[in-house]
Amino acid sequence: MDFLKELGIKDKNFGASTGLEWNKTTDQGELNIVSPVDGKPIASVYLASELDYENIVATSDEAFKVWRKVPAPKRGEAVRQIGLQLRKYKDALGALVSYEMGKSLQEGKGEVQEMIDICDLAVGQSRQLYGVTTVSERENHRMYDQYHPLGVVGTISAFNFPVAVWSWNAMIAAVCGDTNLWKPSSKVPLCAIAVQNILADVIKANNLPEGLFCLIVGRGSSVGERMLNDKRVPLISITGSTEVGRHGAQVISKRFGKSILELGGNNAIILTPNADLKMALPAIVFGAVGTAGQRCTSTRRLIIHESIYDKVKDVVVKAYSGLKVGNPLDEDNHVGPLIDKGAVNDFRKALVRVKEEGGAVVCGGDVHDGAGYESGCYVNPAVVEAENSYEIVQEETFAPILYLIKYSGGVSNAIELHNGVVQGLSSAIFTENMLEAEEFLSAVGSDCGIANVNIGTSGAEIGGAFGGEKETGGGRESGSDAWKAYMRRQTNTINYGRTLPLAQGIKFDI
């Protein structure tokens, strides 16, 4: 395929890079990457060794000592040029994202656009790494906060966003004066290798320090664990399952490191009797089936007032009947494959469990086979009538299953159902009633990190801080003041007087 050649993807690829050089290890095993689109091999990647890791992190640590001294606006200029490079390779990289991961071509290109957008945001942020001046209680004193570069920032990304999540972390970290060490999902390493190739041109053209952007593709049990335990990596951003995040956070916290956790979501949309259903429908369907239900912000629960329940069910089922499932590189298709057959099995098992608990599948749920579906990873998105209390509904199944849940009474009852799960990432309500909307956004409303009115749960903008509460992890990435997590905070006090008064009026005469 032409886009593989354009991105520098070979039949066999090395798995560790300092940004300019690739380590040549070949004795640690080989990942053979098969596309979920057609079941065909794409390429292979040699796994990195623990020695490779040591070399990579040492190079990144040395690069940090240089990079932290570069003025932030000049760091922003390098990021600006990365954004230009990504624009140049947007179509090719978007196609690779689609082919290696399985999301639609539109979403693949959209993910690269997110990378471009975060570069633009980071460039502006490079001139706004602000502190706050605080009034001192002592005469002739001034206090203020300032932020310094932190060090090597680790990024552990998941398969569902092979490139965007890395950029949220790496571009913000770069303007903050940090270097970045990326461990991508072993299911989609080719996208990471392609990005590393794209970055190399900017690194060379600007004589940037080698080790500014590093990559390591290796086993979690060896390379991953070393990264979690490494004091040279003061901050690690982890995107993945709650189980992965819980383990990572425990290991990192034992060495007093910092972590940003972007974990599970069990996102819901509330439809009140005052909802504009015509407006809500696209948000519901895209939220539930976009990326084949493999977004952390995917809509998994639809909480519907009993007075409009039957109408909503009919409209949703009708919309699902028009979905086209097929090759995601064909822009006429709406839904591509799941990432692998393991995900298909999880999809099947969830539908069995929900029926055992008393739920009813009202449409979809079957697995495609035959011509065009040779990979065995294509499913028909399912709509299921269920109760919020079902064990399977309480879990996050990373697949296109939408649970219809009925509520009665006022919006507070819907909010109680909405909040009645352990995850707390994204949430939405559709209503034209101001009181309902304001209650949903209030302290007694949604307990999620993201709460929307009259838009869906999926598709957050990079300008806002992205992240959630409860078992979603509590971290924040991307916009707003999320940049502060990538820096070390310092409070400074300056005495410009001729005496030394102590705080709290303490007298200490000598």
Which pairing describes strands 213-216 and 179-183: parallel, antiparallel, or unpaired?
A: parallel
* DSSP character at residue 208: P
Residue 296: active-site member:
yes
Q: Side chain identity at 374, as an amino acid letter?
A: E
Please report the beta strands in 272-375, taking only residues with DSSP state E, as ranges in sequence order: 299-305, 360-363
Task: Assign 3-state DSSP to the chain and report helix, strand, coil percentages, each to 5.
Answer: 40, 20, 40
Alpha-carbon gap, residue 24 to 326, rounded angstroms:
38
Backbone Cα Rg of the chain: 24
User: 316 Cβ partners below 8 Å, 6+ apart?
Assistant: 281, 284, 285, 302, 383, 402, 404
* Angstrom distance (rounded) from CA 182 to CA 192: 8
Q: Helix crossing, 309-321 with 277-289: angle to 10°?
A: 50
Residue 502 per-residue DSSP state:
P
CA distance 57 to 254: 20
Q: Which residue do the tokens 């656009």 mark?
A: 113
The CA distances from residue 68 to 74, 155, 211, 352, 478, in Å, are 11, 19, 13, 54, 20
Is 283 within 8 Å of 316 (Cβ atoms)? no
**Catalytic residue (choose from 100, 107, 111, 262):** 262
Q: Name the nearest CA neighbour of 337 among 92, 32, 108, 38.
A: 38
Retrieve residue 123's tokens: 């460039």
Phi and psi (nearest 5°) for 255? -100, 15
**Which one of 119, 176, 214, 296 is the catalytic residue?**
296
Alpha helices in 421-472 (DSSP H): 434-441
**CB half-sphere exposure, 254, CA atoms < 13 A:** 8
Let me know if 448 is a catalytic residue. Answer: no
Strands 213-216 and 16-17: antiparallel
Residues tagged active-site: 262, 296
